[in-house]
């Protein structure tokens, strides 16, 4: 699969600092925020995020002047990772490529759920992320469907909504969530 630029990838690249030390801090803040949002939701403390990243609160505010900017950056970074993964798995067997991408999509839904209320679904960043995610994952779905490995009576949007619905409920642990997801994906797959 030829690497193609996705709108969200360009957004992420434009936000990331060029100096190595600043880029390290930026990446550490994104990782810490992703973790904090997954654990505590959109109300996670910015001070806690800075502490987890090993930086001062001033460094957090230099990179992300507002809480919304941090939400948008984490969200865009998650979608950018989904886009990169789609390119990385594109040469795998069609079902395995799609299933690999969907497993990463599950992680993305955790972050998305935590910050969704903070972002307006019509914001430019949200729309760019949605377009990029569909442009990255859609071809994996189409290829699996064209080779007869995925049901033909569903769309990529149907699949994403199903997986997002499955991941929106509370589970005893990740293993239980993964079992439920596996059962659902067995209903999507036609070839074994």
Closest of 119, 107, 121, 130 to residue 38, by C-alpha: 107
Query: Would you say residue 103 lies in a domain?
Result: yes
Q: Tokens in use for 158? A: 């149907």
Q: Tokens in use for 177? A: 């969530």
Q: What is the pLDDT of residue 192?
A: 62
Q: Tokens in use for 174? A: 């990740």
Query: Would you say residue 50 lies in a domain?
Result: yes
| Residue 152: its H or E element | none
Q: What is the pLDDT of residue 48?
A: 96
Q: What is the pLDDT of residue 118?
A: 62
- CATH number of the domain to which 20 belongs: 1.10.357.10
Query: Would you say residue 14 lies in a domain?
Result: yes
Q: What is the pLDDT of residue 10?
A: 63
Query: Would you say residue 1 lies in a domain?
Result: no
Distance CA 68, CA 119 (A): 7
Write down the pTM of the prediction.
Answer: 0.78
Q: Tokens in use for 100? A: 């690999």
Q: What is the pLDDT of residue 51?
A: 97
Whether 8 and 130 have beta carbons less than 8 Å apart is answered as no
Whether 129 and 167 have beta carbons less than 8 Å apart is answered as no
Distance CA 157, CA 34 (A): 25
Whether 25 and 60 have beta carbons less than 8 Å apart is answered as no
Query: Would you say residue 65 lies in a domain?
Result: yes
Domain residues for the domain of 32 are 7-188
Structural domains counted in the chain: 1
| End-to-end Cα, the chain, rounded Å | 24
pLDDT tens for the chain, 192 residues: list them. 444 555 665 666 566 667 888 889 999 999 999 889 888 888 889 999 999 999 999 999 999 998 888 888 888 888 888 888 999 999 999 999 999 999 888 877 766 766 666 665 666 777 788 888 899 999 999 999 999 999 999 999 999 999 988 888 888 988 998 899 999 999 999 966
């Amino acid at each position: 699969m030829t690497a193609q630029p996705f709108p969200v990838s360009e957004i992420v690249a434009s936000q990331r600092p060029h100096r190595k030390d600043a880029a390290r801090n930026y990446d550490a803040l994104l990782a810490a925020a992703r973790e904090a949002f997954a654990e505590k939701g959109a109300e996670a403390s910015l001070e806690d995020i800075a502490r987890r990243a090993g930086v001062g609160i001033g460094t957090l505010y230099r990179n992300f002047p507002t809480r919304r900017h941090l939400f948008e950056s984490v969200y865009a970074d998650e979608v950018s990772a989904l886009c990169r993964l789609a390119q990385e798995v594109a040469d795998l067997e069609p079902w395995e490529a799609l299933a690999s991408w969907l497993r990463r999509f599950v992680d993305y839904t955790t972050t998305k759920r935590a910050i969704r209320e903070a972002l307006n679904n019509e914001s430019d960043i949200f729309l760019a992320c949605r377009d990029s995610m569909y442009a990255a994952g859609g071809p994996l779905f189409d290829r699996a469907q064209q080779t007869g490995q995925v049901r033909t009576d569903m769309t990529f949007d149907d699949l994403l909504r199903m997986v997002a619905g499955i991941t929106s409920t509370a589970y005893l642990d990740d293993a239980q969530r993964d079992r439920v997801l596996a059962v659902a994906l067995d209903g999507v797959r036609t070839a074994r």
